[in-house]
Structure formats: C-alpha cells, structure tokens
Amino acid sequence: MVENDELERLRSVKNLYEADLMQKANVVGVGIGLRQRAGELTDEPVIVVSVLQKEPAGNIDAKDVIPTELDGVPVDVQAVGRLKAF
Amino acid sequence: MLEDLVAQAKQVKEAYVFDLLSKRNVVGVGLGYKISHGVNTGELGLIVSVTHKADASALAVKDLVPQMLNGFKTDVVVTGKFRAQDSGIDPKGRWRPVVPPGVSIGHPGVTAGTFGCLVRKGDEVFILSNNHVLADVNAGKAGDPILQPGVADGGTADDHIAKLADYVSIDFGTSEPECSIAEFITKTLNYVAGAFGSSHQLQAVKKTPGVNRVDAALARPLSPDLVKNEILNIGVPIGVGAVTLGMDVQKMGRTTGHTTGKITQIDVTVQIDYDGPTALFSGQIIASPMSQGGDSGSAVLDMDKRVVGLLFAGSDAATIINPIGEVFSALNVELAL
C-alpha cells in the first residue's frame, strides 16, 4: 500500500512535467504507478511514462530522451503499444 | 525451474492421456494446480475431469484413476458433461426476456461493445456503456435504437432493446491546422495545470477544452423489465469504490468474458486512438491487460463487487478505465442497486 503523502508528492511532480513528457516522441501516457521489472509489478511507486515501444537510447533524439528521475522521483518507461478505444 | 516441471508434466500427460480418457466417467485431462478444500495448493499435477465421482468399490479396477503418474499427483475434478457453449451463457448471444450487464450491445453504427452496468436517475433506470458503443463517437442522436446483441454479433432492427438517452461528447480538441499535436497537448495540459494546480481535489466534471475525463453514454431500455443489475458471471454490484495501485479487479465483457487484472497506474494522462483521430484523456486508470475489442463499456469491479470504473480502451499490454465517480457525475446517475 502506497502512502498518501508519497502519492501527493508523485502527483505534484507529475503535474509539473506531464506536458513536457507528453510531447516527446513515442510517449502516449503519463501516470502514477508501480515500477515493473521483467514484466512483473514491484511495489515501488514511480511516475510511469507509457510509450509505443522501447527504443535503444542511441536511436532517440536528445530532446526525446525520458529522464530516469524527475525532482528525485523515479521514472519508469513502460511499452504499451497503441492504445485504442475498443 | 517451473518451466522444466511443466514440460515434464506435459510429457506425462501425453503418455497417459488416451489411457485416462478411456476410463469410465473421464471427460478431460489437463495440467493444473491441485485444489484441496477449495484452496490452490500450488502443486502441479494432472487434472482429470469426470462427469461424476464414483466410489472406488463401484468401479472396475481398469477404470480407477491412479493417484500418481510418474511422480505427478492426479486430481479428480467433477465437471459434468462438457457441451459446446450454448447461447445461455454466451455474452455475444441474444439475451431475452431480460438483458444482464456483461453482454453484447451497440448502436447500429458500431460493431459491438458491452453493457457495463445498470444505473439510475431518480426512478428511471439506464444502461451504462461508452459513448463509442452507444453513441457512435458523438454521431448518435437521442432516441437512436440500441441493439442487443450488437451488429457484429448479428444484431438487427429486430434486436432493438433501448434508445440512446444521453452521452458525454468526446472532445478531439482543436482542428486548427496551424496547431501541431504537440503544441495542442502543451496548451491544453498547461490549461489543466493552471486550472487545477497540483491539488488533488479535482472537481469531478470540470470541463477543459480538448481534455476528456470519460467515454460514457446512457441508453433508456424500452421497458425497465428488459434489463437487470446482476452482471453476468459476477453478480449484483454492492456499491461503488475507488482503486489503489496493485489492487485486483474484474470485469465481464462481450469478447473476453469474465477476466481479472491488477491496477498498474492511476491519475494517467493518455492519448487514445479512435480509429484515426486521437483524443486526450486525463485522470484515467490503467490495469494490466484484461480485455480486447468489444469489451468496451464493461464495468470494472473490485473483488468485493464494488464498481470502480468503466473500461473503454486498451492494447495487448494495458487496459484503460474511466474512474466510475467521474462517469456517474458527468451523467448525473448512480448505481441501480
């Protein structure tokens, strides 16, 4: 169970950077979630940046690189593919 | 290694499957975890399905199912006779005289979606689903027929069960050609940040241009007796609730039926593809993959049967859900209990 204080902190950092993150190539979503390792959910609260697919850092323009943390809050990049209304 | 164990169990199954199937009462053989007193023991074994259990003394020796086969335990489970799924439990089928939530439904201009749950406004009851299921992505007009099952499941004018009553328009944002998608997103999100700050006390139905909170619509049944609130394979919801990260949830949908998943994200801002145009949503919930096309409109419930959301989009890796509180306040309805 994630503490409310921690969620509040994640929320305020997410709100600060969301517009910037959503503009990066490949990004389709920004939310508050749990880090995934090898496809398994951990219990670590993070800012989750959802992308169409993961790309090696070498293929990404500097302006489109997603930081691994923002103001001390860890960021986890997760591939979700194209999200469709279905 | 679990994979090795599974591979071994498979080999044992292959070696004995025909022998087992030739025994009296046996209708199936598979791999699974042994269930003891209703609890999953975590112990991998061969599951032998039988029409009914018979006393060992009443069976010929050749019809006894051995307790062990090459080191794997067997578990005899009573399943009765298997039949091809009849329309009695098929969510894509035509349901009469009473239509339960969890089955195929749709506007004539739409393939098919799912009847999520029954809601009410005063004394009147309504079918809740998505705008893109009941209102054809803003193209529908109040009074349009709603079919059960939906067109993709063979629904025709004869399957008219309700009329489109109300929906929340999906805002695809600006159509100004000089405004790129990136500029648009920045503009609208900055507007959101300005309007809401970092406060978590979002006003439920505050409308921000270009940013959506719900994909929701209501249909008025031709008669209140034509619908019920008991969701197929789940039961009657006990109320509404909120989600937390890591929580287990369930849904009953037209395509994938009754499935469960885990909440992986909250407070999500996300771009959703509507077969071409994309719409920006904020305040969304993401769950692990638990749905496919046609499940849209399903109610998402916690494991205690509190409704927590309305499923509307996804991919092979994620399921996107509107929080139910936002849906109910946008349409000014409550759960029909």
pLDDT tens-digit series, residues A67-86 = 999 999 999 999 999 999 99
Judge whether residue B182 has pLDDT over 70: no
- pLDDT, residue B86, reads 43
Q: Which helix (H) or strand (E) holds B182?
A: helix B181-196
Phi, psi of A57 (to 5 degrees): -50, -35
For chain A, the maximum distance between any two Cα atoms, rounded to a whole number of angstroms, is 38
Residues of A in contact with B321 (CB under 8 A): none
The token pair that represents B180 in the structure block: 């790129």
Whether A83 sits inside 8 A of B313 (CB atoms) is: yes
Burial class (CB in 10 A: 0-12, 13-18, 19+), B194: exposed
Q: How confident is the model at residue B173 (pLDDT cuts 50, 70, 90)?
A: confident
- From the list B193, B173, B170, B194, the residue with the least C-alpha distance to B183 is B173
Q: How confident is the model at residue B1 (pLDDT cuts 50, 70, 90)?
A: low
The position carrying tokens 């599951």 is B47
Cα distance between residue A86 and residue B113, in whole Å: 8
pLDDT tens for each residue of B86-125 = 445 899 999 999 999 999 999 999 999 999 999 999 999 9
CA closest to B198 among chain A residues: A12
Judge whether residue A49 has pLDDT over 60: yes
| A26 touching B (Cβ < 8 Å) | no
For chain B, the maximum distance between any two Cα atoms, rounded to a whole number of angstroms, is 84
pLDDT, mean over chain A: 94
Instruction: Count A/B contacts: CB-CB distance under 8 Å.
Output: 131
Cα distance between residue B271 and residue B268, in whole Å: 10
Mean pLDDT of all residues in B15-35: 81
CA closest to A8 among chain B residues: B200
| A63 touching B (Cβ < 8 Å) | no
Contacts of B214 (CB under 8 A, 6+ apart): B168, B310, B322, B326, B327, B330
Bridge pairing between strands A73-79 and A40-51: parallel
pLDDT, mean over chain B: 87
| A79 touching B (Cβ < 8 Å) | yes
- pLDDT, residue B183, reads 64
Judge whether residue B301 has pLDDT over 50: yes
pLDDT tens for each residue of B130-150 = 999 999 999 999 999 999 999
- pLDDT, residue B198, reads 40
Smallest Cβ distance to B185: which of A12, A23, A41? A23
Smallest Cβ distance to A34: which of B130, B198, B245? B245
Smallest Cβ distance to A31: which of B182, B279, B286? B286
Percent share of chain A, pLDDT over 70? 99
Whether B270 sits inside 8 A of A31 (CB atoms) is: yes
Residues of B in contact with A80 (CB under 8 A): 286, 315, 317-318
Cα distance between residue B77 and residue B47, in whole Å: 7
Residues of A in contact with B247 (CB under 8 A): none
Q: Is A24 in contact with A64 (CB distance < 8 Å)?
A: yes
Distance from the Cα of residue B227 to its chain's centroid: 18
Mean pLDDT of all residues in B281-304: 97
Mean pLDDT of all residues in B47-75: 85
Contacts of range B276-281, beta carbons closer than 8 Å, 24 or more positions apart: B277/B172, B278/B172, B278/B181, B279/A85, B279/B170, B279/B171, B279/B172, B279/B173, B279/B212, B280/B173, B280/B185, B280/B188, B280/B210, B280/B211, B280/B212, B281/B211, B281/B212, B281/B213, B281/B215, B281/B320, B281/B322
Cα distance between residue B201 and residue B203, in whole Å: 6
Mean pLDDT of all residues in B67-86: 74
Cα distance between residue B333 and residue B328, in whole Å: 5
Give, in degrees to the nearest 5, the angle at Cα B159 between B295 and B322.
Answer: 25
Residues of A in contact with B274 (CB under 8 A): 84-85
| Amino acid occupying residue A4 | N
Judge whether residue B72 has pLDDT over 50: yes
pLDDT tens for each residue of B183-208 = 666 666 665 554 444 433 333 344 56
Mean pLDDT of all residues in B268-278: 94
Cα distance between residue B179 and residue A30, in whole Å: 22
- pLDDT, residue B234, reads 96
Distance in Å, alpha carbon of A61 to nearest chain B alpha carbon: 16
Whether B269 sits inside 8 A of A29 (CB atoms) is: yes
Its ipTM equals 0.94
Cα distance between residue B165 and residue B159, in whole Å: 17
Smallest Cβ distance to B272: which of A43, A78, A83? A83
Mutate which: B245, B263, B292, vs A, most A CBs within 10 A: B245
CA closest to A76 among chain B residues: B265
Query: Could you check whether the bond before residue B149 is cis, i.e. omega within 30 degrees of 0?
Result: yes
Position with higher pLDDT, B184 vs B169:
B169
| Amino acid occupying residue A25 | A
